[in-house]
Amino acid sequence: MTTHALNDTTVLTKRSLRHILRSPDTIITTAITPIAMLLLFVYVFGSAIDIGGGNYVNYLLPGILLITVASGIAYTAFRIFTDVSTGLFERFQSMPITRSALLWGHVLTSVVANLVSLSLVMLVALAMGFRSGAGLLAWLAAIGILVLFTLALTWLAVIPGLTAKSVDGVSGFSYPLIFLPFISAAFVPTDGMPGPVRWFAEHQPVTPIVNTLRNLFAEQPVGNDGWIALGWCVGLLVVAYVLAIRTYRSKIA
């Protein structure tokens, strides 16, 4: 990225961040649903769920973190949709601004906003008894996985943000992403699931990601799940980025 493009991206990112600072309820709202799920599953369903021993909040937290990200990127899609529908993208196009900076501003804002929401969820989990023996490297690896996952879903959110015809259309795309962890190892082990459901749960991206985060927090070897999780995150990121850029060029540029 050239210096000019970097400067443009910085300016537009600051613009998006200022919008969030003026309306911090969006971050709080993003965290409310995952926190409610955390409270519900730990205090209502937790005693009836067999995870083979251990603290259920420790088992549950990785899946809740992924749901937090999926909730957050819905706002990213909505912010892009608002800029497109109000003609802001077209006005920026008439100015000497690097075209990619328009999208990168929203993407980087999404990463920052989601990290704040994830921090709020982590604080609630700590108050509920979550404990981790992970060292610095394990925490950095966990944060890296979450950032990659956030980037992948954010670039995916760019597509409906650019193409949606209504607010309902732009917000509806995130629902499958929010519910995907329910058919995975995020809430219960996959061993007791029916055959076809178990196969899907074990071969979709959420399961290796939550298993990797769970083992990192417990400072346990991540095994093959770590590489599979990394492959899913990077693969989704690349595909989403390419599709988002193509959509942007055909729709706006």
What pLDDT is recorded for position 127?
94
Residues 65, 139 contacting (CB under 8 angstroms): no
CA distances from 195 to 176, 198, 204, 211, 252 (A): 22, 5, 14, 20, 45
More confident of the two residues 201 and 54: 201
pLDDT at 252 over 90: no
Query: What secondary structure does DSSP assign to 16-49, as a single string?
Result: HHHHHHH-THHHHHHHHHHHHHHHHIIIIIGGG-
What pLDDT is recorded for position 118?
93
Tokens of 78: 């909505």
Q: What's the total number of domains in the chain?
A: 1
pLDDT digits (tens, 9 = 90+) for 88-126: 666 666 666 666 677 888 888 889 889 989 999 999 999
Angle CA(92)–CA(94)–CA(98) in degrees, nearest 5?
Answer: 60
pLDDT digits (tens, 9 = 90+) for 120-148: 999 999 999 999 888 899 999 999 999 99
CA dihedral of residues 89, 93, 96, 98 (deg, nearest 10): 70
Mean pLDDT of the residues in the chain:
85
Residues 107, 158 contacting (CB under 8 angstroms): yes
The parent domain of residue 138 ranges over 3-251
